[in-house]
Structure 1
Amino acid sequence: MPDFPYARLRRRPDVEAANLQAYDATDALLVGRALESGVPGHEIAVIGDAYGAITLPLTDAGLTGIRVHQDLATGRRALALNAEELGLAGFSPHELDGSLLDGARLVLLQLPKALAELEEIADAVARWAAADVVLVAGGRVKHMTLAQNDVLGRSFARVQPQRAERKSRLIVATEPRAVPAQPPYPVRAHHEGLVLVAHGGAFAGAKLDIGTRVLLDVLAELPGSSPASVRTVVDLGCGTGALAVSAAIAHAGARVVATDRSAAAVASARATAEANGLADRIEVTHDDAGSRIPDASVDVVLLNPPFHLGSSVHTGAATRLFEAAARMLRPGGELLTVFNSALAYRPELTALIGPTEQLRRTPKFTVTRSIRR
């Protein structure tokens, strides 16, 4: 296996920190397995390559035509930037659909955190890839569970975990089973007049997560703004789009933008908007922290920020979204945020946005309103 300069890979534009790497041992194991297989590049699909640590070593080894699906907009940008930095090409981006998997004989997968996301991926591989496809999934041993084997077993007759190496393990799935007429995702659920639709990779699935529920309760109790005063509302990190739908209903004349860096979330939010009869009122974009929204152009930002980056607890993701809200809000505009009470974001919000008041605090969640100075 040829040497590859993994240490030169960067996470940008995602959060970069001393304890956050752009690669791990699982990437190298997947690359090694692919090179040993002899499968040509145009018959290889890569799913979940966070920053290019699977795709770029394969192209560096001379394989071309590799198809890649990354859920996160930040990962897609990082792969492009790392490829440019290293002078590599030979791959093409795809969504999780037939164009990614048609004729694929080898699929390399960094195991996702959510079992629902793994189920949707496994079904897609069995549904669209070649009949003799081999799915090689890998992860860090400390994050792997027997439930992942069970999920893979729903779509493949043979699921064989391999011996752990360097604290990582591969699982090889072969012999795809017959797939149902309809894919298992997206799913939908009704919540007191609101319909949520979710793909497997969307946070909380079709459930209304607790933080969003608390924020929605607070929004329902706030004094209503005059229609003319709220022209643009952004659901930043929209997930399945519950806040965007609520905003579209509350502000009938406003432009509502739902944006998320997750492709699964974006597909879910679009489907949620359609299910609630609001597809023509809500613009949904796949973007990194709303980077395409003009500066000082937004009246209200709604935000339920994440506090994980992959499997790491890290507040950097929330900080990037606070900074994004500060950029896009007009002077006097409002950021309404819900977050884990233990994280105590209020001083940071005051520094980045402006005067911040607490609207509600429960043992688990706090809701604040920040006014852009």
Structure 2
Amino acid sequence: MTADRWILALEAGELVLPSGPVLVMHARGDADLGALGDVHCVQGFAPDHDRLAARGLPVTPDLPDEGQFAVALVQIVKAKAASMGAIVSALGALAPGGLLLVDGQKAEGIDAILKTVRASFAITGSYAKAHGKLFWLTRPADLPEAALGWLAEPIETEEGYLTVPGGFSADGPDRGSELLVALVPQLVGRVADLGAGWGYVAGEILSEQAGIEALDLIEADYAMLTAAAANIDDPRARFHWADVTRFQPDAAYDAIVANPPFHIGRHADPALGRAFIAAAARMLGPRGRFFMVANRHLPYEDALKAAFGTGRLLGELEGYKIYEAAKPKRQTPTAKDASKR
């Protein structure tokens, strides 16, 4: 495995770091940060956050409230708006004269980001390796006005929801979620929304269905869940920042809804949807039902058959399939269920 580019650049003598604390934005769970010194990681994606914390690294989902950093490293993500927002946030956290590093793969759009940054700042150096690039610059005393515009504002949808710039479905509810809301039947009892995003599916279902006792929104993206909490004021809603595939409810659910993600970075990966299906089967009670929407081309039928005893297609519309599945297999007792024994 090729070492991270900042390590290679340091070893080659092309990059020299000033002394002082280091901020790492969008820090990835497997990133080798030891060469950077005294780091503080910012990561709002629960799986990466948990991996960093397990390694003993200081990590928070938001920028620290106080303090200036000598160095800031931004690991870009697939959404350019999110990456540019992280860059300007990192610049704001740097002391004047501090060093900003930006790293990413070509497939993630690092060249386009470099072009945008170069239009406003003098680039001090760059290092290309392993189908990606690291570049760096010195923070000036005053940030140019153009850079301040990189911090995108949330959009308010026609339905009154606030979305997350650079996040999934940032311009409004995606069609798959709209179809899921339209076709899901009346639900009762304890309900969960896996991968709840900024809260559209949960918010619409809560507004339409009085039989729901509680609805847990489970979302790995901290910014998304924060938006969902701002969007939904129904007292039945509960918000959980967690990796869906590892989340353990305090009691089994009566119903679960999901519009699973199917990308890692810029690449489609149906394994994510299959993991959501397995998680739903694990979290449901014996009589629980699972409702899922997915792009028509994604091969989820075998995973549904493996995880559930029965299932049916509620609809196939506009390139989407909406499934209902029941009789979850391989039930795992929840913490509350185990305590009753």
For Structure 1 versus Structure 2, the TM-score category normalised by the shorter chain is: 0.7 to 0.9
Match in the other structure for 1:149: 114
1:268 is displaced (CA, Å) by 2.1
Match in the other structure for 1:316: 271
5+ long unaligned stretches in structure 1: 1-6, 8-22, 84-88
User: Using the alignment, how far apart are the partners of 2:68 and 2:139 within structure 1?
Assistant: 15
Match in the other structure for 1:11: none
Which residue, out of 269, 272, 281, partners 2:228?
Answer: 269
Spell out the pairing of 1:127-276 with structure 2 (5 A cutoff).
127-144=92-109, 146-149=111-114, 151-152=116-117, 157-159=121-123, 162-175=126-139, 177=143, 184-191=151-158, 194-219=159-184, 222=185, 224-225=186-187, 230-252=188-210, 253-273=212-232
SS in 2 for 1:49: coil
SS in 1 for 2:133: strand
User: Using the alignment, how far apart are the partners of 2:113 and 2:196 within structure 1?
Assistant: 27
RMSD of Structure 2 on Structure 1 (CA): 3.0
Provide TM-score, normalisation by structure 1.
0.76
- CA distance 1:255–1:315, change in 2 (3 Å): same
State the Cα deviation string for residues 21-46 of structure 1 (Å, max 9, x = none): xx764464577599943333x52011
Match in the other structure for 1:124: 89
More helix by share: 1
Spell out the pairing of 1:1-373 with structure 2 (5 A cutoff).
25-26=4-5, 28-29=7-8, 36-40=15-19, 42-55=20-33, 57-58=34-35, 63-64=37-38, 66-81=39-54, 83=55, 89=56, 91-99=57-65, 102-144=67-109, 146-149=111-114, 151-152=116-117, 157-159=121-123, 162-175=126-139, 177=143, 184-191=151-158, 194-219=159-184, 222=185, 224-225=186-187, 230-252=188-210, 253-273=212-232, 277-278=233-234, 280-289=235-244, 291-294=246-249, 297-362=252-317, 364-373=319-328
User: Are the counterparts in 2 of residues 197 and 206 from structure 1 also a CA contact under 8 Å?
Assistant: no
User: Are the counterparts in 2 of residues 339 and 367 from structure 1 also a CA contact under 8 Å?
Assistant: yes
User: Using the alignment, how far apart are the partners of 1:288 and 1:334 within structure 2?
Assistant: 21
Match in the other structure for 2:333: none
1:292 is displaced (CA, Å) by 4.2
Percent identity reads 20
SS in 2 for 1:75: helix
Letter matched to residue 70 of structure 1: Q
User: Are the counterparts in 2 of residues 135 and 173 from structure 1 also a CA contact under 8 Å?
Assistant: yes
The aligned length equals: 324
- CA distance 1:271–1:150, change in 2 (3 Å): farther
User: Using the alignment, how far apart are the partners of 2:294 and 2:81 within structure 1?
Assistant: 24
SS in 1 for 2:257: strand
